[in-house]
Amino acid sequence: MIAKLQNHARDYAWGSKTLISDYFGIPATGHPMAEIWFGTHEGSPTRLAANPSISLREHIGFELSFLLKILAAEQPLSIQAHPNLDQARIGFERENAAGLPLTASHRNYKDANHKPEMIVALTDFEALCGFRSEPQIRNLLLDMVEAPEVSSTFVAIAQSWLDAFEAGGLAQLVAAILEPTFADEPIELAGFNAELAQLADFSARFELAASLNRLFPGDPGVVVALLLNHVHLEPGQALYLPAGNIHAYLSGLGVELMANSDNVLRGGLTSKHIDVPELLSVLNFESSPVPYVRPVELAHGLIEYPSAASDFRLYRASVSGTNLLAEIALPSPAIVLCAGGEVDLSNSRGDHELLRRGEAAYLSTDAKHFTLSGSGDVFIAMGR
């Protein structure tokens, strides 16, 4: 079975009004077009193009293990991390037992699933992911303490964070930034962040703080962002973000694949609910290299973006008049998203659909294999 799909763009405030429409040819709405979901998650149900009254979940009768998205960021998303499977199950059960509605704004766990994810850039893409090395973070804090022409309060706060870092490492430092106190009293970061932004004239390493402070004055995420790897992806490059990885997408258009979950623990750059203790409980505080995904060519025109995820696999296929991808095995249900041109999708049962830019289709496993022809580019997401 091949079923063409449809869904509407979600209008989150950080979304772009132009990236999705310009790249995919999907009509602009005049509002932010942040994400388009393809999957069975009830947060934004994908529907059959031939009969929009029927959701994909209703059509196939089960939940897919993955969720495929188009993501377009004009402004930064929140600094965030996702739980592992045990943390998600425990958190979901705990909030259910407390009687928290699934729609409650202060709820952390919307489901009992983990949420490893991968992002593949379609345009130039900017992101933060994972903590920088401890020497880099120590030097950053020293630069704050020793910065010229800042107030004594700024120096005292920066020194308290340096002391926290030396005493308890990254975990204690992040906790101190997210719940800042000075002389045992809570403090507002508006003044500190304003001075931090001015340090962009002193060192390029503070330019990110300056740009974020214009959007989120007084937000602790402005400081946390400086602790993270700042990554610029070119089209085709990808990141894999496992459970516990702290990250934020800043700008650009990409295809995102994740486990079928909407669990997010936030840590800044947002007006939404932040639960600092819960975030700290799921974060991985180990410094690590940028988690680039290295594509593997499986055949001419077919590459895989490999990852350790147990819930999904992602491929990208390019076909042309001289390159037909035929009889590709289908070990599990899949969703195919056309990212350019026109691609004819067919299977060994004789079903077929023509996909144009921005169109997607569901492939069931009742056929042994499928074939791609035409002239275009598609992403193929499937479970393990």
Say which amino acid occupies 134.
E
- List own/partner pairs for 162-169 with CB under 8 A and 24 or more apart: 162/138, 165/137, 165/138, 165/141, 166/138, 169/134, 169/285
Cα atoms in the 13 Å half-sphere on the side-chain side of 377 = 9
**Active-site residue set:** 266
| Total Cβ atoms within 10 A of residue 250 | 22
Residue 237 is which amino acid?
Answer: Q
Other CB atoms within a 10 A radius of the CB of residue 53 amount to 7
How far from 69 is each of 33, 155, 294, 330, 337, CA to CA, in Å?
Answer: 12, 43, 20, 21, 9
- Name the 3-class secondary structure at 29: coil
C-beta separation of 258 from 67 below 8 A: yes
Distance, in Å, from the CA atom of 343 to the CA atom of 352, rounded to the nearest integer, reads 10
∠ CA(372), CA(7), CA(329), 5° rounding? 25
Listing DSSP states for 330-369 in one string gives: -SS-EEEEEEEEEEEEEETTS-EEEEETT-EEEE-TTSSE
Q: How far apart are CA 235 and CA 324, in angstroms?
A: 23
How does DSSP classify residue 267?
E
